[in-house]
Amino acid sequence: MVSQRDELGRRGEAEAARYLRRLGYRIIARRERILRGDIDIIALDGRTVVFVEVRSRSDTSHGHPVETIDRQKQRRLIDLANAYIRRHRLENTSVRIDVVTVTFRRPSTSPGWRLWAGQVQPQVEHFQNAFESPW
């Protein structure tokens, strides 16, 4: 059984991928498993390899989704991206890490995620070069 949180995350990743495609990015991988972790989306923006962390929320009552990426999570994303770069021999390639947040505005009268997930237009925000990386 898929939890509401997992379902929200999957829908957010799907929305983020659609958004990036509309911008002209080419999605080359989703949920790429590496180093006992995963990279949500790997895409090409022209000749730049972009590692995308997706953060999905049903609202912003506990802060903006991007605020959940602390220094430890940033370090983990950099480690995963570096492992991917080494695995695919991309050392001489332009790379960056972006964050895409997807917020689904839940109607106040709806009691649960499943009842409103397909009816809400998500708010998507894109943060290019979201934090300092060693490249």
Over residues 77-107, the pLDDT tens digits come to: 999 999 999 999 998 999 999 999 999 876 5
User: Does residue 53 sit within a domain?
Assistant: yes
Determine the pLDDT at residue 114. 55
- CATH code of the domain in which 112 resides: 3.40.1350.10
User: Does residue 133 sit within a domain?
Assistant: no
Determine the pLDDT at residue 83. 95
User: Does residue 23 sit within a domain?
Assistant: yes
Number of domains in the chain: 1
User: Does residue 15 sit within a domain?
Assistant: yes
Instruction: Show the domain range for 116.
Output: 4-127
- Alpha-carbon gap, residue 11 to 56, rounded angstroms: 8
- pLDDT tens-digit profile of 3-35? 777 888 899 999 999 999 999 999 999 999 998
Whether the Cβ atoms of residue 38 and residue 13 lie closer than 8 Å to each other? no
Residue 54 region by backbone torsions, left for phi larger than 0, else alpha for psi between -120 and 50, else beta: beta
Q: What is the pTM of this model?
A: 0.84
User: Does residue 92 sit within a domain?
Assistant: yes
User: Does residue 135 sit within a domain?
Assistant: no
User: Does residue 45 sit within a domain?
Assistant: yes
Determine the pLDDT at residue 105. 74
- pLDDT tens-digit profile of 31-61? 999 988 999 999 999 999 999 999 988 877 7
User: Does residue 134 sit within a domain?
Assistant: no
